[in-house]
Amino acid sequence: MAATTSLSAAPALDQIEFFEKRIRPLLAERCYECHGEQKQKGGLRIDSRDGWVKGGESGTAVRPGKPDESLLIRAVRYTDKELQMPPKNQRLAPQQIADLETWIRTGAIDPRTNAPSATISPSAVTLPFDLATERKKWAFAKPTNPPTPSVKDTSWPKSPIDRFILAKLEANRLRPAPTADKRTLLRRVTVDLTGLPPTPAETASFLADSSPTAFAKVVDRLLASPRYGERWARHWLDVVRYADSLDARSLGKDGDILDAWRYRDWVVDALNRDLPYDEFIRQQIAGDILAAQTNAPFDAGKIIATSLYAIGSWGNGDSDKKKVYTDIVDDQIDVTGRAFLGLTVACARCHDHKFDPITQRDYYGLAGFFFSSRILAKFNAPTAGENIMRIPIAPPTEQATRDALQQRIAAIDAKIAGGLVPFTVVQRDVQNKPGLHSWSPKDAPNPSLVINTTTNAVAFITIKLPARAIALHPGPKTPVTAAWRSPLAGRVRVSAKLIDVDPTCGNGVTWSVRHAGKTLSEGAMDNGKNVEFTEQEVTVAEGDLLQLIIGPRNDYSCDSTQVEFRIKAADGRAWSLHEALINGAKQGQDNLWWICAGEGAQLANDKPDLAALEAERKRLTSELKPPAMTHGFQEGGIPKTEYEGFNDVRLHGRGRYDRLGDVVPRAFPVVLATTQPRIASGSGRLDLARWISSAENPLTARVMMNRLWQHHFGEGLVRTANNFGKLGETPTHPELLDWLASRFTESGWSLKAMHRLMVNSAAYQQSSGSSLTARSDPDNRLFGRQNRQRLDAEALRDSLVAAAGALDFTLGGPSFRELETPRRTLYLMTARSDRSNYRTLFDAADPDSIVEKRTESTVAPQALFLLNHPFAQAQAKALARRAAKEAPAETTAQIGWLYQTLYGRPPLGKETALGIASLAPETGGTVEDRLDRYCHALLCANEFIYVD
C-alpha cells in the first residue's frame, strides 16, 4: 500500500473501498470547502490523513476506533451547541453520520497520505503508491520479447502467433477450429480489411488460384487498395470522438468544426501510405511544431493532423470561459490518455486516480502542455459560443500569390473605405413609440442612431433613452461615426460627452474624436459608465470633418451610447449634434452633420472614382480563391488571457480553476516515464509526442496491437481496449501481446506489416462455426475459433450500395448529408446534435465519446429501416434491375447470380427451390414486383449482415 503510511499493517482492501465510496466523497462534498486547500477554518484540514491527525485548534479531529471521542462525530451529530458541522443547519443525513461512525470505529483507514501541498519537485513528492511495485505491473513494464512457445501439434501453426494461441489451447486440452473454406475466408478478409464484400470476379480468381500464396496475395491486394484506409480510418475515428459538425443546425457557420473532414482524410491517407505509427502519433500531437521546423519540406498534413485536439467534445458555449478552457484541456488529456496510452489519465483531474498509479500532479503535469497550446484564438464574450480556430494551410507559393493579391485588394479597400457611408434608412416611431426615430445603413440594423425627440424618457429593448437625447449604437464589427463638416476655416473648440444608456447589456464601447483622420483623443468606456471629452481647440479648413466615433468592444452588439457633440467657433457660432438632430434635422442638412457607418476621414459620396475602384476590387477578388483552412493546435496559450504563452499550471483543487494549488512543472506520468522532459522553449508538446511514440513507452505499442487484434478477431487480447489500468481486463495472452508489440516496433511501426502477420495466421483463418471450444470457452477467450462478425453501420450501408451496383469510390472531401448519396458511409455527415440518424440506428460510435468498441444491438427499428426506408427499398430495386440486366434470364441462373453477387457462393438446392417458388407467378404481382421482393429479402437476410 501507500509507501509512507504510518499504519503498521496494510489495511484490508474493503476498508479502503469503504473509504473511497462512502467517506471520501462525503468529506469532499461537505467539508473540504472550509477545511481544505483554500480555507482551513479553525486551523483544521480534513483533505488528508495528516490533516485530521494533526487536527485544528480544538485538537485532533478523529480518534481511530473511538467515534464517541472524535470531535468530528460530535460536530456532525449536532448535539453540542458550540460545535455543529456542517454549519447553519446543513446537517448530514443520518446515513452519512452512520458511515462516518463506522469508518472511525473500524480504524479510520485513510489512504490520502499525499498531503496536497507537498513540495514542488516531482522527485520529492510523496506518491500514494509504491513506484517500483507499480512499474512491475504488466502494463507499466516495458514489453518483453518472449520466445514463441513450443506446441505439440506442429502442423497447425502457420505463424508464430499460432504457437501462442495453440499453446494455451493445448494447456486447456482444446483444439483449434478447422480452417474456414476459401469463400468464407475471402469474404471475411475482404470485409475486414476494406469494409466491402468481394466481387464475384475476385471470388472466382481466388478460387482458381491453388498456389500456397493465394491468400497472401489477396491480403496484399486488399492492403494496397485505398478502400483499406477508408475502412480502418473509421476504427481510429471512433477512438478520437470524430464528428463533422458540432451542431447540424448551425452547419457551416462560424464556430462549427467546418474543417474536421480534412483530419478524417488525413487519417485515411496516413493509413493508406502506411505512415509509421510513431510518426502518426507525433503528427497528431505536435504536427504544427514539426511543420514549422525550418528544414522540413512544406506539409499541410502535419498541421491538419493536430485537428485531433480541436474536434473534441466539451460544453461549447458556456459563459464561464475559464471553465470552458479547462474542460477543453481535460478533453485533450482524456483523448491522449485513452487513444494512445489506453489509460484513463483524465480520472485524475479532481483527485489522485482511485485505482491506477496516476496522481493529480501527473494530470496537471500533462495539462501544462495543453494549456500552453491553443485551439481557440480568443475567449469570446460570455453570451457567445467558442470559435474553433481556423488555420490557413496553403503551400508557400500559393500563399505568396494570395498575399500579393490581398495587398492589392487592401490598397483598393483603403481608397474605398477611406469613406464614411451615410445612413440612408430612416424609421419613424420605432416600436410604435411616437417621437422615437432611428437611422441605419441599408441592409443592417446596426450600426445605428436613435433619436428621442419627446420630452419624456423612452424605454425600448434594453435601453432607456432620456428625453430629447440621441444614442449611437455600433455594429458588432462596424463603428458608427457622427461627423461635422466644417463650413469655415479657422479655429474651433470641440467637446463631447458619452453616457451608456444600456448598462444591463454588452461590455462597453471604444470611442475616439478625430479631425481629418487625425486622432485628438480616444479611449474605452466600460459598461454603465460616462466619459467626458473636454474642450479642445482645433484649426480646421473648410470641408474638413470633425468626427466622434463609437466602436464595438469584445463582439458585443448591444451597446447604446447617448452622445453630445458640440463645436464652437471663435466668432461665437455654435453647433450641437443632438440639438440639430432632435430639432428635426435630416441627414446632411446644410451639408453640416453626417451620421455614417465606418470610420474613414472622407464621406463615401465625395469619391469620384468609386465605381471604377469597386470594379477593380471585384476583379481581383474573383482571382483570390478561398484559402484552404484547418483546425488544429498552435503554440502558446490563448493570447490576452492569463494562459498566454508557455506556462506550467497550478494544481486545480477538485478540478476547479478557482481552487489553485502548487505549480506543477510539465511532466509525464511518473509511473510510465523514466526520464522527464527539459523544456527549453515552447509548449513541450513535441517532447510529449516523442515520449508517447517511443518504443520505450510501455503502453503505446501494446495498445495499438490490441486494437488491431480486436478488429481482426472480434475481441481484443485485452478486452478493454482503452483501459490497460487496474480496472481494465488483464490480457488473455500477455506474451502474445508483448510479442506483437515487439514485432510492431521492430517493423518500424508498420501497421500494414502487422495486419499481414495477423490475417495470414492459422488462428485468423479458423472457422467461426466450430463448436469444439464453444462449451468449454463460451466467451472465446482462448481464440479457439473465429468470432462471427456483424457488418457495422458503415459496412452495411456500403454493402447495400455495392449490391445496387452504384457505389461511388471518390476519396475524401467534405461530408455529404443525404443518405441517398451513393458514396461510402465514412463520408456521411456526423453531427453531434443529431442522434436520430442512420449511423446511430446501427450502433455507430457516439461522436461525443471516445469509443473503444461499439455496442451491438439488435432492435426492431433497425428492421423497420431495412424493410421500409426509401433508401433501403431503392437499393433492393436497383439490385433487381441489375439482376434483370446482368444475370442470365433463366430463373435458376438468376438466383445463382444473386447468391454469387451478395453472398459470394452458389445457392444450395433448397435455396434455389425457395427462390423459384417465391419468383413464381402464383405469389402475385408483376415479374418486377416478385424480383424486387426476392432481392429485398436477400438484402435483409442474416447472411447479408453476418460475416462468418
DSSP 477: S
Interaction residues for another protein, span 80-139 (CB under 8 A): 93
End-to-end CA distance of the chain: 48
Residue 89, exposed/middle/buried by CB under 10 A (0-12, 13-18, 19+)?
exposed
Interaction residues for another protein, span 209-228 (CB under 8 A): none
Segment 441-447 long-range contacts (CB within 8 Å, at least 24 positions apart): 441/597, 444/475, 444/478, 444/597, 446/473, 446/474, 446/475, 446/476, 446/478, 446/557, 447/472, 447/473, 447/474, 447/475, 447/478, 447/479, 447/480, 447/550, 447/597
Of 419 and 716, which CB lies nearer to another protein in the complex structure?
Answer: 716
State the binding string over 27-56 for another protein (x if CB under 8 A, else -).
-xx---------------------------
Q: Which stretch binds another protein (CB under 8 A): 23-31, 141-149, 418-426, 673-681?
A: 23-31
Of 225, 383, 387, 478, the residue at the interface with another protein (CB under 8 A) is: 383
How many Cβ atoms sit within 10 Å of the Cβ of residue 941?
Answer: 13
Secondary structure (3-state) at 625 = coil
Of 319 and 621, which CB lies nearer to another protein in the complex structure?
Answer: 319
Of 608, 778, 889, 926, the residue at the interface with another protein (CB under 8 A) is: 778
What are the angstrom distances between the C-alpha of 589 and each of 429, 487, 605?
Answer: 21, 12, 15
**What is the distance between the alpha carbons of residues 835 and 934, in angstroms, rounded to a whole number?**
32
**What is the distance between the alpha carbons of residues 604 and 564, in angstroms, rounded to a whole number?**
24
13 belongs to the binding site for another protein (CB under 8 A): no
**What is the distance between the alpha carbons of residues 188 and 198, in angstroms, rounded to a whole number?**
9
Helix (H), strand (E) at residue 578: helix 577-582
State the binding string over 345-374 for another protein (x if CB under 8 A, else -).
--x------xxx------------------
State the binding string over 300-329 for another protein (x if CB under 8 A, else -).
-------------xxxxxxxx--x---x--
Q: Is the separation of the CB atoms in 421 and 596 below 8 Å?
A: yes
457 belongs to the binding site for another protein (CB under 8 A): no
Q: Which stretch binds another protein (CB under 8 A): 75-83, 263-271, 414-422, 461-469?
A: 461-469
459 belongs to the binding site for another protein (CB under 8 A): yes
**What is the distance between the alpha carbons of residues 326 and 660, in angstroms, rounded to a whole number?**
12
910 belongs to the binding site for another protein (CB under 8 A): yes
State the binding string over 229-258 for another protein (x if CB under 8 A, else -).
------------------xxx---------
Residue with cell 485533450: 332
398 belongs to the binding site for another protein (CB under 8 A): no
Q: 927-940 and 870-886 are packed helices; what angle lies between their axes, rounded to 10 degrees? A: 120
659 belongs to the binding site for another protein (CB under 8 A): no
Of 680 and 860, which CB lies nearer to another protein in the complex structure?
Answer: 860
| Grid cell in block for residue 335 | 483523448
Which amino acid would we find at residue 102?
T
**What is the distance between the alpha carbons of residues 934 and 914, in angstroms, rounded to a whole number?**
10
User: What are the residues facing 912 on neighbouring strands?
Assistant: none
State the binding string over 807-836 for another protein (x if CB under 8 A, else -).
-------------------------xxxxx
943 belongs to the binding site for another protein (CB under 8 A): yes
Find the shortest distance in angstroms from Cβ 96 to another protein. 8
Of 137, 415, 617, 790, the residue at the interface with another protein (CB under 8 A) is: 790
Q: Is the separation of the CB atoms in 792 and 780 below 8 Å?
A: no
Find the shortest distance in angstroms from Cβ 723 to another protein. 4
Segment 134-141 long-range contacts (CB within 8 Å, at least 24 positions apart): 134/357, 134/671, 135/671, 138/730, 138/731, 138/734, 139/342, 139/698, 139/699, 139/702, 139/724, 139/725, 139/728, 140/357, 140/671, 140/672, 140/698, 140/699, 141/698
DSSP 725: S
849 belongs to the binding site for another protein (CB under 8 A): yes
874 belongs to the binding site for another protein (CB under 8 A): no
Find the shortest distance in angstroms from Cβ 672 to another protein. 16
Number of residues that bind another protein (CB under 8 A): 99
Of 597 and 845, which CB lies nearer to another protein in the complex structure?
Answer: 845
Q: Which stretch binds another protein (CB under 8 A): 104-112, 459-467, 513-521, 640-648?
A: 459-467
Of 144, 462, 583, 605, the residue at the interface with another protein (CB under 8 A) is: 462
921 belongs to the binding site for another protein (CB under 8 A): no
Of 244 and 599, which CB lies nearer to another protein in the complex structure?
Answer: 244
Interaction residues for another protein, span 740-769 (CB under 8 A): 769
**What is the distance between the alpha carbons of residues 694 and 688, in angstroms, rounded to a whole number?**
10
Interaction residues for another protein, span 518-537 (CB under 8 A): 527-528
922 belongs to the binding site for another protein (CB under 8 A): no
720 belongs to the binding site for another protein (CB under 8 A): yes
